[in-house]
Amino acid sequence: MKTSAISFPSRLVAGALALSALVPQARAADRCNDVLVDTQPRVVASGFQYTEGPAWDRRNGRFVFSDIPANTVFGVTLDGKVTSVLKPSGYANGNAFDAAGNLWSARHDRKVGMTDASGATTVELDAFDGKKLNSPNDLVVASDGSVLFTDPPYGIQGHGPQRAAEEQPVRGVYRLKDGHVTLLTGELRLPNGLAFSPDEHLLYVADTADGTVYRFKVAPDGQLMGKQRFARIEPAAGQEPMVDGLKVDRHGNLWMTGPESLGVFSADGAMLCKVDMAGSHVSNLAFGGKDGRDLLITYSDKVLALRTRVAGQ
């Protein structure tokens, strides 16, 4: 595996990383400086097939991420040391750690898996209402241990081990708690990334179909209500709308990947910053590092890093 710690590839520098927002250019740059130390990502590691699902592994002081076609979850330190964590991974996409340090993976083999500290993996869920899941895509672990995940059909449309027909009547957002699974909503066309607000009273869910992040209120029993359009990075001319991965920082700002870009929105929906990253698909992102202020970004065949001014939650 080729690794490096060089500056952002020169083929992407021209025209890339321009700072913009729904405000004049100078103000946009000022607002990016409020949330970012670096405005130029550096390559941490490269030579993969397609990267996704970054998560901070606190126990081992590293990030993990998926290479979906390689059927592998890798670990990487910020100095570019890459190790294989889980192979086969079930064509894992999204990853998250629970409070005990167990690794949860949303897998394109139509399963949700959990890998404990010993490396043993169990399938925690593969069906709902007697029918196979579509293709678990991304997930988040709540403070009560419940795991919320999205279930679009990407893995059975050619991005997993085999093509198959959808069995679920909706492409849902689900909650798995103590072995019991609940469908929280089937309102979105292509539910993808998801993230809680710091107090877990709000849930943000990306709908890749229209490039929009929707916000739901979380009821005391965990149910979702009050769907609202929250944020969208407007595509440039010739681009399709896109949103994929989501994360929230400790101030409640929403960080999202967009059409060849990364965006940051305040808790009231105002765009704070946009970093243009032309050249490849920006799939996902995760906060980590010793102080929670290192941002790992999965970017096609690479993983990149930015230093932030505010820590992830």
Per-residue pLDDT reduced to its tens digit, 244-275 = 999 999 999 999 999 999 999 999 999 999 99
For range 86-115, the mean pLDDT: 98
* Cα separation, 137 vs 184, whole angstroms: 15
25-29, 38-42, 142-146: lowest mean pLDDT where?
A: 25-29
Give the architecture-level CATH label for domain 10-307. 6 Propeller (2.120)
pLDDT tens-digit series, residues 12-21: 333 333 333 3
Percent of the chain residues topping a pLDDT of 90: 85
* pLDDT, position 38: 84
What is the token pair recorded at 257? Answer: 């990947």
* pLDDT, position 313: 86
* Cα separation, 277 vs 256, whole angstroms: 13
* Cα separation, 145 vs 153, whole angstroms: 26
| pTM metric for this prediction | 0.90
pLDDT tens-digit series, residues 49-71: 999 999 999 999 999 999 999 99
What is the token pair recorded at 194? Answer: 């998801």
* pLDDT, position 19: 35
Helix H or strand E segment including 35: helix 25-35
* Cα separation, 93 vs 83, whole angstroms: 17
